[in-house]
Amino acid sequence: MRALPPPVQNLIDAFSRLPGVGPKTAARLAFYLLKEEGDIAKDLAEALTALKLDTAYCKKCHNITLAGQELCEVCEDSRRDDALICVVEEPSDVIAIERTGVFIEGIGPEQIKFQSLLERLQKEPVREVIIATNPTMEGDATALYLQQRITPLGIKVSRLARGLPVGGDIEYADQNTLQRALSGRQSME
């Protein structure tokens, strides 16, 4: 079989490096863009370039913001309670938390910037840190580490509740989810 021209193979290789994209999906995307008659390839290239050139990380919380801005929209929002911080794992987690409408502040893209968080906790009057890491072994380990480091500062540390999803059926829940739901149960008073 003949090798693919380098531009096509390079695009397949680039797509393959994305999370969740295997070689078949990468090839399908590359061939789709190759045969597409519209401006989708040009639009995609411009969006990728703008992604790297026009975004930065917030100096205060490390959330995504526009390049040239020191603070993100979350940190600039005067309606926020500055004494409440929510620690998350990924910028996409900030979006999920924001959708709740609870107006808490997100910390941390990709890896939690603990030294920056610690400096902030020592400078600002924070009363509570909500740890919103994923319910995985890594998320649990990160939460435990943060709790052990923050509690001695006299700041309340809490964790998102875990358990059954709204609309979920108990019969389909796994054992760990049911155990967490039972141990985290709330009074109905």
Tell me the two tokens of residue 132. Answer: 């919103």
Question: What burial letters (b/e) apply to 105-132, b meaning 16+ CB within 10 Å?
Answer: bbbbbeebbbeebeeebeeeebeebbbb
Q: What is the per-residue pLDDT across 77-127, written as a single tens digit (0 to 9) for each?
A: 888 888 888 888 788 888 877 776 654 444 433 456 778 888 889 898 999
* Amino acid letter, 116: S
Paired residues of 65 in beta bridges: 56
Q: What is the pLDDT of residues 129-161, one digit of tens each?
A: 988 888 877 778 888 888 988 999 999 999 888
